[in-house]
Amino acid sequence: MNDASPIPNDLDSFWMPFTSSRAFKAAPRLVSGAKGLYYTTVDGREVFDGTGGLWCSNAGHGHPRIIEAIQKQAAEMDFAHCFGQGHPIAFQAASRMVALAPGFDHVFFTNSGSESVDTALKIALGYHSARGEGQRRILVGRQKAYHGINFGGLSVGGIGLNKGQFGTLYPSAQHLRHTNLPENRMSKGQPETGAHLAEDLAMICETHGGHNVAAVIVEPVAGAGGVFPPPKGYLERLREICDQHGILLIFDEVITGFGRMGTPFASQHFGVKPDIFTAAKGMTNATVPMGGVFTTAKVREAFLSGPEALPDLFHGYTYSGHPLASAAAIATLDVYRDEGIFENAAKMAPIWEEMLHSFADVPDVIDIRNMGLIGAMEIDPNSSRTAPELAKKAWDIGLSFRPIGNNFAMSPPLTIDEEHIGKVKDMLTKVLR
């Protein structure tokens, strides 16, 4: 390979994530630049980043303040671990994080959403053990849920295709039904019906004993499974059932965190407080891998009753609190605050919603779902065209979005404005009509 060329000529060495290598090689889609809301392809075309990276580049690409913070930190201290020692910038990053989430006093740093989910599940199990309720081993997820790809997250996840190659994984996982009801098609924002589906948790408690259930984990707005906003009253009812049975409620905010709903976290938007929540992606504006698990003081305190010489939690990653990630996180939070990024998301959400629903009359678009700056359209499975075909057509005219089965999802950078939304509409018109 010619190292000077921006175009790799070996497409075989890199085993790509969630990719059909044969399809990719047949029509490679390669980008080599990213600025603001656009990618530049290797052949010099601009493509609107309709998925904000992968639901993560919330302040757009290449923000100079974040880049500068990373460069400065790399020169000052590239790495130091946090196993029994520390460095100020990780503590600063943690303080800034919890300040965004009133009622949550601690954050455990990870490197990804998947690690955050597995960490959260382990914290839930450890919490109950520490309190003498080690029999609580059931972890409850939901159909169509995406909680990353590690053992725990995949076990509570609910996307059959992702699980099929791997078997049972965690043996005590149970699942709620998903909340995508046909009667709610074309709902704007939260659907009216479906709160009753939270009773699945009560049923699991009845069947297995609520005293055996450790935690239930849900995405406040399900994302990668197809974008399903929670039915009105659903999250509230889950909270009630958890309280009745002493079950920890975990929100997976890997997508919804850092402003996608117009508030720092979706729990604030919905007014339902979990005991633990996960985050990643927008935490550093996706510049340096970093995730986190936020807990209430009550959860953390349960871990402080063991011998003082031993770790509170027998868990951690070499890169938990990595200096570069911490620097990126602090700079990212500065940008979110100083540029009113979350406020812009709140302002643009209704305009985004109107734009998406203007396609409701397209004959083979059978559902449109949206919440905050997330949206999805579902293509009739009997249509002559498929979501991946539409995604290809969109890419060719300069718009990227993500096909998920017969849906395609969009989650633009939160810096989107009315003009961008108009451009997206024009491109979607060319793709869909």
Confirm or reject binding of residue 117 to ligand PLP (CB under 6 A). yes
Two tokens, residue 83? 């196993």
Report residue 292: phi and psi, to 5°.
Answer: -160, 155
Q: Are strands 38-41 and 31-35 parallel, antiparallel or unpaired?
A: antiparallel
Member of 50, 52, 53, 148 binding ligand PLP (CB under 6 A): 148
Rounded to 5, what percent of the chain is helix, strand, coil?
40, 15, 45
Interatomic CA distance for residues 295 and 219, integer angstroms = 16
159/302 with CB nearer ligand PLP: 159
How far apart, in Å, are the Cα atoms of 231 and each of 176, 197, 301, 326?
A: 14, 9, 33, 36
**Quick one: which segment of 74-82, 140-148, 265-273, 308-316 binds ligand PLP (CB under 6 A)?**
140-148
Q: Which is nearer to ligand PLP, 248 or 431 (CB)?
A: 248
Give the separation between CA 281 and CA 258, rounded to whole angstroms: 9
Residue of this chain nearest to ligand PLP (CB atom)? 113
**CA distance readout (Å), 105 to 98, 219, 268:** 6, 21, 15
Q: Does 200 bind ligand PLP (CB under 6 A)?
A: no
Q: Does 227 bind ligand PLP (CB under 6 A)?
A: no
In this structure, how many other beta carbons lie within 10 angstroms of the beta carbon of residue 363? 8
Comparing CB distances to ligand PLP, the nearer of 215 and 362 is 215
Residue selected from 113, 126, 191, 282 as contacting ligand PLP according to rule CB under 6 A: 113
Residue 144 binds ligand PLP (CB under 6 A): no
Q: Does 254 bind ligand PLP (CB under 6 A)?
A: yes
For residue 118, state whether it binds ligand PLP (rule: CB under 6 A).
no
Considering the rule CB under 6 A, would residue 260 count as an interface residue with ligand PLP?
A: no
Among 60, 158, 223, 226, binds ligand PLP (CB under 6 A): 223
Segment holding 242, helix H or strand E = helix 234-245
Question: Most distant CA pair in the chain: distance in Å?
Answer: 66
317 binds ligand PLP, rule: CB under 6 A: no
Q: Which residues pair with 49 in a beta bridge?
A: 400
Binding test (CB under 6 A) with ligand PLP, winner from 216, 255, 374, 416: 255
Which span (145-153, 296-304, 383-391, 416-424) binds ligand PLP, by CB under 6 A? 145-153
Nearest approach in angstroms of CB 210 to ligand PLP is: 25
Residues 90-109 that bind ligand PLP (CB under 6 A): none
Give the closest residue to 55 by CA, choosing from 317, 320, 414: 414
**Cα–Cα distance for residue pair 98/107, rounded to 1 Å:** 7
| From 48, 108, 127, 146, residue interacting with ligand PLP (rule: CB under 6 A) | 146
Q: Does 252 bind ligand PLP (CB under 6 A)?
A: yes
Bridge partners for 370 per DSSP: 375
Q: How far is the CB of 88 from ligand PLP (least distance, A)?
A: 26
Does 114 engage in binding with ligand PLP (CB under 6 A)?
yes
Q: Which residues of 69-83 are buried (b: 16+ CB within 10 A; e: fewer)?
A: bbeebeeeeeeebbe
Beta carbon nearer to ligand PLP, 226 or 323? 226
**Minimal distance in Å, beta carbon 260 to ligand PLP?**
11
Contact residues: ligand PLP, CB under 6 A: 112-114, 117, 146-148, 219, 223-224, 252, 254-255, 280
